[in-house]
A and B are shown apart, each in its own frame.
Chain A
Amino acid sequence: MTEPDRDPSARAGRCRANYDLYRGQTPGQTLGPFFRQGLLRTRDVFHVPGPSCPERDVFDNVLAAPGAFGEPIAIEGCVYDGLGAPIGDALLEVWQADGRGRYQHALDPSAEPRDPRFRGFGRAATDVRGGYTFASVKPGAVQGPNGGLQAPHVNLVLGARGMTRHAFTRIYFDGDAALAADAVLALVPAQRRQTLIARRSGLREGVSVYRFDVRLQGEHETVFFEL
């Protein structure tokens, strides 16, 4: 099947210094209007679903099952374009630590146990009115630069038809005492920080509801990061 002798990358022991083996990054491209067919494969996405299609995809917008450690939250909002029109075909992906501040990843140094009722990744597509929602728990604080802690936050990837590649941002939580000391927020000009802070809009059936709108342009353009 493969040709290890012809493929220099198949040899062991490479490092970044081998510039002769340097391969350029594969360019990104827009995910287009039909990404749900590949990324959120619920039965109702398909014109002709086929018997193998499950009602629900393995990916969805629910990160926390009942009983997950932490404060249950909903994050909801809308995605808007530069004309203030809702974007009805955007993809949002979130990655966050659990309620104790532990990422489900080998690099996380936390000795806290893994929460079996929580998964750190979620996906949602916006509806025709640009709206999205995630069901989760408020993440705990995670390790930050220089030994400090970062304020609780959710990492968000946004893509859409018309976005030539995705964009990274973060969702912080209004009223959190740790916001003032967060090293990433400190890099953001003060007048733009509020675009990264979800506002608590109330309590619904025991779940704290946070509102986080994304604006691609305009006076309140969301801050996006270069990672």
Chain B
Amino acid sequence: MTGTPRDPRRKEPDRLVSKVSRYQPLDERSHPAYASPRYASSVYRSPREPLIPIRQTLSELTGPSFGPEILLPGDADLTSNAGTGSPALGERIIIGGRVLEEDGRPVSNTLVEVWQCNAAGRYNHVSDTHDAPLDPNFLGAGRCLTDAEGRYRFVSIKPGAYPWRNHYNAWRPAHVHFSLFGPAYATRLVTQMYFPGDPLLDIDAIYMSIPSAEARARLIARFDHEQSRPHYALGYRFDIVLRGREETPLEAL
């Protein structure tokens, strides 16, 4: 912020933002195709026309960001955030990791939202009609912000497997839904985290909608003894990698 004072009415780039980051393309091998016939409901819910590529503009390079004021107190602890004063039932777990860009740069202060079913395989959602017990002490939802190093951490219970109607005797592997914003509108990511060693993964149409085995493996948290807390909970590590970026002069947008 040196040099001549800016005329506040001039609509041109500030020195601080003379360079901006354009995001790397979405890696098609890492992401599921929209039409994934084994996942039955994708057949009529997938665009048929090819996506139209555009050059990222200010609309895609900006995006919402949120501060701690949007969080409810204690909202990263799903074993207690229902506020009943009684703990949720199930095997207590700690899920933690880092949100990174492709080159390993941490994504700080970004909102991470999670939701999951309870230990019996039932969502606390009015539309879930699965005949498994509800846990009045478990909302199954939480939010937190990453810290300066991109770290996040939730305490929860291990979700159960549950049946769904995709095909005969279909069961979803245990999973936790994750939603992330990252630094820009273009980096939005919604995904699911799975647990190591789950025998249901190989027959899950949603997990298998990702074409590459190597990419699928990135959705499996690893057991993390160091993140486990003695006499309290097992730890799982799940790092999340958003689209990286390359610097480009703002004038070149």
What are 26 pairs between A and B in contact, CB < 8 Å? A9-B98, A9-B104, A23-B241, A24-B27, A26-B240, A26-B242, A37-B115, A37-B140, A39-B115, A44-B126, A53-B82, A95-B62, A97-B59, A105-B63, A107-B62, A144-B253, A145-B253, A162-B39, A164-B36, A165-B34, A165-B190, A187-B54, A222-B47, A224-B52, A226-B52, A226-B53
B57 touches A109 (CB 8 A): no
In the complex, which residues of chain A have a beta carbon less than 8 angstroms from the beta carbon of B219?
26-27, 29
B253 contacts across to A, CB distance below 8 A:
143-145
Bound Cα distance A142, B58 (Å): 8
Q: Report whether A25 and B82 are in contact in the complex, using a CB–CB cutoff of 8 Å.
A: no
Q: A residues within 8 A CB of B25?
A: 226
Looking at the complex, which one of B65, B82, B209, B214 makes contact with A164 (CB distance below 8 Å)?
A: B209
Q: Is the interface of A mostly helix, strand, loop or mixed?
A: loop
Tell me, yes or no, whether B55 is within 8 Å of chain A by CB: yes
Is A82 engaged at the interface, CB distance under 8 Å to the other chain?
yes
Decide: B100 and A143 in contact? CB cutoff 8 A: no
- A residues less than 8 Å from B141 (CB atoms): 37-38, 41
Query: What is the CA–CA distance of A199 and B60 in the complex, to the nearest angstrom?
Result: 24
Q: Check B131 for interface membership: any CB of A closer than 8 A.
A: no
Closest 9 A/B residue pairs (Cβ): A38-B115, A52-B83, A50-B82, A9-B104, A162-B41, A162-B45, A105-B62, A82-B44, A121-B64
For A223, the chain B residues whose CB sits under 8 A away are 49, 52
Which bracket fits the contact residues of A? Answer: 35 or more
Within the complex, the shortest CB–CB distance from A210 to chain B, in Å, comes to 18
Contact among B17, B98, B185 with A155 in the assembled complex (CB-CB below 8 Å)? B185
Q: Give chain B nearest CB distance to A208 CB in angstroms.
A: 21
Whether A109 contacts B70 by the Cβ 8 Å rule is: no
Interface string of A102-119 (1 = CB under 8 A from B): 011111111100000001
Contact B103 A15, beta carbon cutoff 8 Å: yes
* B5, CB-defined interface residue at 8 Å: no
Q: What is the minimal beta-carbon distance from A173 to any residue of chain B, in angstroms? A: 14
Q: How far is the CB of B37 from chain A (nearest CB, A)?
A: 11
Decide yes or no whether A188 CB sits under 8 A from chain B. yes
Q: Which chain A positions have C-beta within 8 A of B135?
A: 48
Residues of B within 8 Å of A29, CB to CB, are: 32, 177, 190-192, 206-207, 209-210, 219
- Is B51 positioned at the interface, with any CB of A under 8 Å from its CB? yes
Q: Which residues of B contact A89 (CB under 8 A)?
A: 127
**Interface presence of B249 (CB below 8 A):** no
> Is residue B231 contacting chain A, with contact meaning CB distance below 8 A?
no
Given that A15-B103, A50-B82, A221-B49 are contacting pairs, would A31 and B44 also be in contact in the complex, using a CB cutoff of 8 Å?
A: no
Residue A204 interfacial (CB < 8 Å): no
